[in-house]
Amino acid sequence: MSDRNARTASRAPLRWDAVRRADGLEVLQARARNNSWYIVVPKADGSFELRYASQSANTHLISTGDVDDAKRAAETHADRYDTRA
């Protein structure tokens, strides 16, 4: 089994929850490791932005027209960087 597959097998899939911000916008968030989060934010033009937020940074990962693409990108990022069991 490759190193990537070994990490994927030991990491549970991200669990997405909808959260309504104070301004009424609904975002999706999934807990990552070390008190970090993946956040999918819908944009006014109908696209979605995937962000990775940690204690040290809030990073834009991708913009896409499909929420499922954003979630897949989060899974791929987590496969590489998230070490939760």
In order along its 85 residues, the chain shows pLDDT tens digits of: 444 444 445 778 899 999 999 999 999 999 987 789 999 999 999 999 999 998 888 999 999 999 999 999 999 999 887 655 4
User: Residue ranges per domain, the chain?
Assistant: 3-81
Which of 66, 48, 55, 49 is CA-nearest to residue 32?
55
CA angle 52, 66, 54 (to 5 degrees): 5
Please count the other Cβ atoms lying within 10 Å of the Cβ belonging to residue 40.
25
pTM of the predicted model, to two decimals? 0.80
35, β-bridge pairs: none
DSSP class of 22: T
